[in-house]
């Protein structure tokens, strides 16, 4: 949370001339606001519905840039579906992340002590982020344009070695 997935994804898609999809936006189009769904149905139901939405986005025939929610990697099926795509793990300094998420407002998983919760969530998920990612890019103190250019360079370098069709997932 707060790494800039949506912002960088938007700039990256524009630079590549691809559609940009955001898993949270797709979820909300299908099911309504995430906090409301989370409160009514609980996290397990949310994660299942999120997995379905992401599966539909990944199965698109056209390449795209797909920004995933931070908890998407909790699904083994989603992790396996990401294989064969270019996946970028965006990292960020904790203080910057918390500033970007506005103290956790509208993010049910950050309720209570946002800093402690952010650290706990990162600790629980970091190995999964690294498992699915091809690259790790630190977004702290870098502009979205600079980050998009860095990701494009990484993907192009990889494509010259071993072309891989599919989506780019920041």
Query: Please, what are the domains in the chain?
Result: 5-161 (3.40.50.300)
* pTM for the predicted model, two decimal places: 0.85
Give the model's pLDDT for residue 159: 82
- Reading the block at residue 128, the tokens are 């999964």
Q: What is the mean pLDDT of the segment spanning 137-142? A: 95
Q: What is the mean pLDDT of the segment spanning 144-150? A: 97
Residue range 13-36, pLDDT digits in tens? 999 999 999 999 999 999 999 989
Segment holding 89, helix H or strand E: strand 86-91
Sheet holding 86-91, edge to edge: 19-22, 64-67, 168-169, 86-91, 135-138
Give the model's pLDDT for residue 112: 75
Residue 161 pLDDT level (bands cut at 50, 70, 90) = low
Give the model's pLDDT for residue 167: 58
- Give the CA diameter of the chain: 48
Give the model's pLDDT for residue 118: 87
Give the model's pLDDT for residue 78: 96
Residue range 77-123, pLDDT digits in tens? 999 999 989 999 999 999 998 888 876 666 666 767 888 888 999 99
Residue range 47-88, pLDDT digits in tens? 999 999 999 999 988 999 999 988 999 999 999 999 989 999
Give the model's pLDDT for residue 102: 77
């Amino acid at each position: 949370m707060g790494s800039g997935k949506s912002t960088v994804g938007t700039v990256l898609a524009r630079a590549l001339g691809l559609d940009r999809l955001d898993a949270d936006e797709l979820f909300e189009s299908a099911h309504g606001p995430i906090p409301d769904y989370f409160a009514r149905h609980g996290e397990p139901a949310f994660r299942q519905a999120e997995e379905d939405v992401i599966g539909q986005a990944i199965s698109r025939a056209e390449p795209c840039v797909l920004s995933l929610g931070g908890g998407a990697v909790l699904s083994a099926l989603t992790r396996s579906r990401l294989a064969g795509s270019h996946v970028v793990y965006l990292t960020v300094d904790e203080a910057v992340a918390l500033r970007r998420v506005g103290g956790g407002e509208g993010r049910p998983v950050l309720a209570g002590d946002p800093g402690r919760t952010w650290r706990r969530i990162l600790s629980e998920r970091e190995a999964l982020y690294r498992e699915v990612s091809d690259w790790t890019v630190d977004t702290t103190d870098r502009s979205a344009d600079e980050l998009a250019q860095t990701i494009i360079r990484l993907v192009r370098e990889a494509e010259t070695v071993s072309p891989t069709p599919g989506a780019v997932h920041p």
